[in-house]
Amino acid sequence: MAKKNLISVLDMKDEWPDLVELSVKLKAERGNHGAPLKGKTLAMMFEKPSTRTRISFDVAMTELGGHALYIDIPSMQMGHGETVEDTAKVMSRFVHAIMYRAFDYKIMDKVGDSATIPVISGLDNLEHPCQALADMLTVKEKKGSFRGRKLVYLGDGNNVCNSLLYASAIVGLDMVACCPATRMPNAEIMLNASRIADANGSSISASHNPLEACKDADILYTDTWVSMGDETPVEKAVKIFQMYQINDDLLALAKPDCIVMHCLPAHRGQEITAEVMDGPQSVVFDQAENRLHAQKAVLYTLLR
């Protein structure tokens, strides 16, 4: 296939439903993959700290028979005497794909445009596509289907929310972005996702009222109120987002079999209570595991 990136969910819009199905298959076949990526090397470039992204990509490449190379960006010359574009071109001669965890999506786009090999976003300040794929795998596992299901995202309309909007729209999952008026998702992404959802017979909507939004929800989803790089003081964030905390009261408004999701790291007592996070309706750690299987699907599709 022609060189393809996964920087935005939309980069693999046509492949997205197949990626979800492949994630299911690869999870079921774990330990019996053979070595489809034997001889392939993934360069993992990190500007931000990471637990799930680093470990899951490293293990994914190993279990698919390939090799992952960790690169701490401050130790590189990129942006320190060498242009981003030149670094991307040089790395394209050494490795087979780049996974980049970045602060700024504009730099992510430069790497993607300049590299002649696939570039996969491990997160930037606009989107987090690999997380969204793991989330769709989790919903598929726990709910069986997407049609007629309602996902309510509560809190900061950040990169995770942006990618969830696209992913939900593509698979036909109804999604409500329930956020404070000053912390809504990217307006262009919201509009684009709404158009995709309309064409798919599902809905994308916005709300500022969690008491209304959470009624009859199949999935409640949240993320940290202060993302890496966000300089909002915690005390201010608590005032902004307190009513969006996933707690027993909000969960009681959802369907009895509603599942609770969080992309981690979690701050118990802020965006989610410990009782809900550790309760029977939480699928948070299954969701975290699914990063591995979803990223295998991406790597397999882009590199085999």
Helix axes 159-171, 16-28, angle to 10 degrees: 100
Cis peptide before 265 (omega within 30 of 0): yes
Q: Which two tokens stand for residue 241?
A: 């987002």
Residue type, 57: F
Dihedrals φ, ψ of 126, to 5°?
Answer: -110, -40
Active site residue 263: yes
270 among known catalytic residues:
no
Whole-number Å distance between alpha carbons of 100 and 160: 16
Q: Which residue out of 223, 245, 258, 270 is catalytically annotated?
A: 223
- Quick check: 140 pLDDT over 80? yes
Query: What pLDDT is attached to residue 74?
Result: 79
For the stretch 146-157, pLDDT in tens is: 999 999 999 999
Query: Who's near 122: CB < 8 A, 6+ residues apart?
Result: 44, 46, 50, 53, 57, 99, 100, 101, 102, 130
- Per the prediction, the chain carries an average pLDDT of 96
pLDDT for 36 beyond 90: yes
Q: Which position among 96, 149, 183, 291 bears the catalytic label?
A: 291
pLDDT at 229 over 70: no
Task: For residue 223, indicate whether it is catalytic.
Answer: yes
**Structural domains of the chain sorted by starting position, each given as residue range(s) with its CATH number in brackets:** 9-127+291-303 (3.40.50.1370), 131-287 (3.40.50.1370)
Q: Taking a C-beta distance cutoff of 8 angstroms, is the pair 266, 224 a contact?
A: yes
Q: Does residue 101 carry a catalytic annotation? A: yes
Phi, psi for 219 (deg, rounded to 5): -140, 130
Residue 79 has pLDDT above 70, yes or no: no
Model confidence at 32, in pLDDT bands (50, 70, 90)? very high
Note the pTM of the prediction, 2 decimals.
Answer: 0.97
**What are the helix (H) ranges across the chain?**
16-28, 52-63, 84-94, 105-114, 129-143, 159-171, 187-200, 210-213, 234-241, 248-253, 274-277, 284-303
Confidence of residue 2 (pLDDT cuts 50, 70, 90): confident
